Structure formats: C-alpha cells, structure tokens
Amino acid sequence: MGGLPLDASKYGTWKLTDAGRKAHISSDAAKVIFRKWVAINQANRKDKELPPVSEKTIVEIINEVSPENSESTETPDLINVLRGLSPEGFEKICRELLRESGFENVEVTARGADGGIDGFGTLEINPFVSFRVIFQCKRYKEGNTVSRAQVGDFRNAMIGRAEKGIIITTSTFSNAAIQEANRDGAPKIELVDADKLVEMFEKVELGLIKRIVYDVSISFFEKYRQEQQPQ
C-alpha cells in the first residue's frame, strides 16, 4: 500500500497516515474490515492472553479484502497535474475552466500571434451588461512567482482590447505584482494563484471525481457499548 495506513502513538490514539488517506476502498470492503475489526476486539476482550492488534494486522486485513490497494500508487494532487501539462494544454484547460465558470465565447489565441494574451471571452453580468475579458496563463513550478513587470505588461496588452483581465498561474504572485494588479487609477487585474485555481476546479468539479468520506462518531456509539451482546 506504499506505507502503513494507520499511525499509533504511545497514548493509544490512532490516526490516518498519508497512505491511509489516499487508499481507495469500496463500501463493501469497508464493511468487511469493520466486521473483522469488531471480531478481533471481541476476541481480545475474551482472551486476555491474546496479543494486542498491531499495525501489521490492520494492513493484512485491508489487503485481504481489497488486494488492489497493495499495489496502488498515490494519486497526484491537482496542481502538480496542471504543472505537468504542456503550455498549450494548460491554456486549453483554463479555457474549459472559464467556460464552466460562466464565461461565454471563450477561445484560446493562436500561439505566436497572441499579442501578450492567451485567450479571451465574455462575462455577462445581466442582460444589459457584459464585459470582454482576456486572460493569460502562467504554468509555473512551485517557487516561481509572477512578477510586477509581468502584470504591468499584461495590463498594457489589455488596454483597448478588453474591460477585464485575468492572470492564472499554478504558482503565486509577488507582493509587488499584487499591488500592481490593484493599483489606483489603472484597470484592475484579477489574479488567480495555485490555491484559488484549485478552488475553482473543485467548485465546478472539472476533471475531478467527488468523494464523500464518513468518519465514525465514537461518542454516538459509546452509549450502546453496555448493551448485552446477542448469543
């Protein structure tokens, strides 16, 4: 499984490790694990000489009911997937994100003839008001920031061509870039950094598979512990 799914401290508190959080187990397999876990604990209470359940035992149970997990690989996070795209691919996925977010007529400009922009579209506020929007995509690695000069150059490219501008990056913006984007007396530039980009993908569920995870409320079941066990 690429590591133990649970981590136990000396105080007897169990918690999920990174491997445990990324393990994929079906609901049927989870029920089997729960039943086996209950059976092991019941046996431990009846026979005090039995050794305590170890992390190895838990791993064996999970692998037994869900063998595909023993060879599973970790799923990369979204921002690293986006950083791994080609420059053209990142521009196109940003186009799809804007479309899913309510922009209309979104297109990517031809490379080499974009005049400092990567795409354009229209955002309709209401039937009477709409804005022409241009956007620029910066597929940067972690640690590379968008500079003040780049924001200024993009604003110059926007003048006379659109009312709004958006810069989208898989990294961050320098403090000077943020100040430049919000400078008084100049058209405001919307900045979308890596964190906000992930939020936007999650909001429209673009390229993502939504999962709902339930945690057991131990306090809820505590009052039933003293109930007599069925024979």
- Walk along the chain (231 residues) in steps of 10 and give the mean pLDDT of each run: 49 51 60 64 57 50 49 71 93 95 93 79 92 95 94 92 94 97 93 96 91 86 71 56
Predicted TM-score of the model (pTM): 0.63
Q: Given 1.10.287.1040, 3.40.190.10, 3.10.20.600, 3.40.1350.10, which CATH number is that of 79-204? A: 3.40.1350.10
Task: Give the separation between CA 89 and CA 81, rounded to whole angstroms.
Answer: 11
- pLDDT score of 130: 92
- pLDDT score of 198: 95
The candidate with the shortest Cα–Cα distance to 83, out of 154, 146, 22, 138, is 138
- pLDDT score of 231: 56
- pLDDT score of 18: 56
- pLDDT score of 209: 87
Task: Give the separation between CA 77 and CA 112, rounded to whole angstroms.
Answer: 31
Task: Give the separation between CA 67 and CA 150, rounded to whole angstroms.
Answer: 50
Q: Which sign does the torsion angle of CA 82, 21, 101, 155 carry?
A: negative
DSSP state of 2: -
Range(s) for CATH 3.40.1350.10 in the chain?
A: 79-204
CB 136 within 8 A of CB 117: yes
